[in-house]
Amino acid sequence: MAGIDRVGSLVLVVLALSAAPLAVVAGDPDILTDYIAPLGASPGNITGQFFTYTGLRAALAAPAPGASFTATKASMAEFPALNGQSVSYASLSFPVGSVNPTHTHPRASELLLVVDGALSVGFVDTAGKLFTQDLATGDMFVFPKGTVHWQCNKGTEPARALSAFGSAAAGLVSVPVTVFGTGIDDTVLAKSFKTDVATIQKLKAALTPPKKP
């Protein structure tokens, strides 16, 4: 029981220390044209198809599947017409009990709209103040740029949300994975969080993807 309490306390410390952005906060550059054509493409051959994206159809067609949180992105990587437009979207699906873990978007604020179900959300500002809110269908919540934030489905029904970002490539820095899943030395982490190496190794084992054969 003491081991569980120790791990729980460590996670809270990580969240508190992560209140400051984990990456440099930046923004999209302005462009001097209406849009940026694909490399090598003739502007005269571009049609409305270039400005259309259908990749969110499947994500919006059914309630949240499975047991884990899923995000379907419509960023510049998936939708090249967003290049230079400083906007992007994501469809978020939350089965019962699932969570979008603590993370930041270093290049954009996020405006979340709950379209089905209910969500509990929150963020920590750079002064270390915690803000939380319970949202119902139709409610919106803004996560300021670069702040550590999360969403969680504590209800009894699946939930779904749409997130709009003020960047074509908002970026995502996962707090748990960045701290415990990127190979930082165990001793460094143990001393940083005033715990022991065994506790650090348990967290790393849970957060580091297994190596492919």
Write out the chain's pLDDT in tens, 213 residues: 545 455 454 544 454 444 444 445 678 888 999 999 888 888 888 999 999 999 999 888 876 567 789 999 999 999 999 999 999 999 999 999 999 999 999 999 999 999 999 999 999 999 999 999 999 999 999 999 999 999 999 999 999 999 999 999 999 999 999 999 888 999 999 999 999 999 999 988 888 766 655
- The whole-model pTM stands at 0.82
Q: Minimal CA–CA distance to 168: which of 52, 54, 85?
A: 85
Structure-block tokens of residue 21:
């952005």
- Which pLDDT score, from 0 to 100, does residue 6 have? 54
What is the CA 163 to chain-centroid distance, rounded?
10
- Which pLDDT score, from 0 to 100, does residue 64 have? 57
Q: List the domain boundaries for the chain.
A: 2-27+51-207
CB 165 within 8 A of CB 90: yes
- Which pLDDT score, from 0 to 100, does residue 3 have? 52
- Which pLDDT score, from 0 to 100, does residue 38 have? 87
Q: 2-27+51-207: what fold?
A: Jelly Rolls (2.60.120)
CB 111 within 8 A of CB 145: no
Beta bridge partners of 88: 165
